[in-house]
Chains A and B, each alone.
Chain A
Amino acid sequence: MISIQEYRFAESLDEALQLLDASRKNRVIGGGMWLRLGHASVKTAIDLSRLGLDRIEATEDEIAIGAMATLREVETAPCLRELFGGVLAESVSPIVGVQFRNMATVGASVYSRYGFSDLLTALLALDARVELRRAGTMALEDFLKNPPEKRDILTSVRVRRDGRRAAYRTFRRSATDFGVLNVCASISPEGDWRLSVGARPARAARCLEAEALLAAGDAAGAAKTASEKLRYGSNLRGSAEYRRALAEVLTLRCWDALKEGKA
């Protein structure tokens, strides 16, 4: 259970940052999805819902997804339905139910760098950047590996419209549960592949060696490499060995989907 002493709607991003800096016990609240399962004593909960950060906007060059956009908004945004083979919408659609996705936010999913995150796995296979109020814009991959030391506020996720097609595959023990393993692959019009594996159960990571093999047309080699080169762990949902086997299979399925033009 997360306890909260004070609840504040920030009137500006500067105010939100000031509140965040005022105490280590102050926290930005996204969807509040860990309210019951989390453990924290929060002094001031900072709500960003009045700052217009819930928009999903498409320009010629990029898609900007506001931090307070919900997973359901990602799922239903007309501009995301066709882009990247609809992979962003597809990645969030198995998460619990519509009601949950109406609450959970993009900003919290990304800023918290959750290992189980379907959305992070899909975003990492695209050319995505995060926009932070203090640290500025950085590649999602860098943010996942080395987040800024000082606490920050994520304002949007930006995905370059580079014509990529992508495919997403997840394996779940039961519908609506977290994925045991998530895989997303994408290919640009120039033939540049990206492969991201999440819920290992550590957070999503790319496998560059496997990407090179995909580009060379060696799908079986790439799948084996992704299962061997990345680190996998065990938890309630599956063993490291099982996850390695899944990584190989799901990578091949992404490849098949992209090769057959189904994604």
Chain B
Amino acid sequence: MKLNFELNGRKLEREIAPDETLLHLLRACGMHSVRGGCDTSNCGVCTVWVDDRPVLSCGYLAARVEGRRVTTLEGARAEAGELMNCLAAEGADQCGYCSPGFIMCALAMFRELGDPSDEEMRRYLAGNLCRCTGYESQMRALAKCAEGRRSK
């Protein structure tokens, strides 16, 4: 079937299978920041935005983005810069596999909640699993990033 959608600000037309996942489509489009993890809509590694809302691309049918806007980390680099620096400075990206999904969800969180509390951050990011960091370094990075945002 034919699919028309917007990927990181560019209009695209693609031929897809009716049961193709958004994860598969995005990687086929060269968006290699988007990764597969659990493949069962649980771990958050494959997070991208559809119409600015974070979703799990491994369990999202590509057919559903017809006429919609999809954003991956490749399309949110400028917005992600400060958070990426904070994550690196705090050693919160050890193997780095979960980082793009984590960053996409964290950016959505800042957009939605503005200046979230520590508790709100933990709740919002509960669906982003990380096997390296134990989350404390990520929380430090988020706090630092939030601090930077406040002082602007």
Residue ranges of A at the interface with B (Cβ–Cβ < 8 Å) = 2-7, 9, 29, 32-33, 35-37, 42, 45, 47, 49, 72, 93, 96-100, 102-103, 175-176
Contacts and interface: CB of A to CB of B under 8 A. Distances in A.
B61 A29 contact: yes
A97 B64 contact: no
B13 interface: no
B5 to A, nearest CB: 13
Contact of A176 (B19, B58, B63, B126): B126
Contacts of A42: 19
A97 to B, nearest CB: 1
26 contacts: A7-B19, A9-B66, A29-B61, A32-B59, A32-B60, A33-B41, A35-B21, A35-B61, A36-B41, A45-B61, A45-B63, A96-B41, A96-B126, A98-B109, A98-B126, A99-B44, A99-B54, A99-B56, A99-B127, A102-B54, A102-B55, A103-B41, A103-B55, A103-B60, A175-B126, A176-B127
Contacts of B19: 2-4, 7, 35, 42, 45
Contacts of A102: 53-55
Contacts of B133: none
Nearest to A73: B53
A97 B44 contact: yes
**B1, B41, B56, B58 interface centre (most CB from chain A within 10 Å):** B41
Given A7-B19, A45-B61, A98-B54, 12 more contacts: A4-B18, A4-B19, A35-B59, A42-B19, A97-B126, A98-B124, A98-B126, A98-B127, A100-B41, A100-B56, A102-B55, A176-B127
Interface string B3-19: 00000000000000011
Interface string B41-71: 1101001000001111011110110100000
Interface of B: 1, 18-19, 21, 39-42, 44, 47, 53-56, 58-61, 63-64, 66, 105, 108-109, 123-128
A152 B48 CA distance: 33
Contact of A5 (B18, B21, B42, B66): B18
A242 to B, nearest CB: 24
Contacts of A37: 40
B18 to A, nearest CB: 4
B81 to A, nearest CB: 22
Contacts of A175: 126
Nearest to B43: A97
A97 B128 contact: yes
Contact of B58 (A29, A36, A47, A96): A36
Contact of B64 (A33, A47, A96, A100): A47
A36 B63 CA distance: 15
Contacts of A103: 41, 55-56, 59-60
A106 B1 CA distance: 28
Contact of A99 (B18, B63, B105): B105
Contacts of A4: 18-19, 61
Contact of A97 (B39, B53, B66, B127): B127
Contacts of B126: 96-98, 175-176
Contact of B18 (A6, A49, A72): A6
A97 B43 CA distance: 9
**A2, A3, A36, A176 interface centre (most CB from chain B within 10 Å):** A36
A36 B39 contact: yes
**A7, A42, A99 interface centre (most CB from chain B within 10 Å):** A99
A30 B47 CA distance: 19
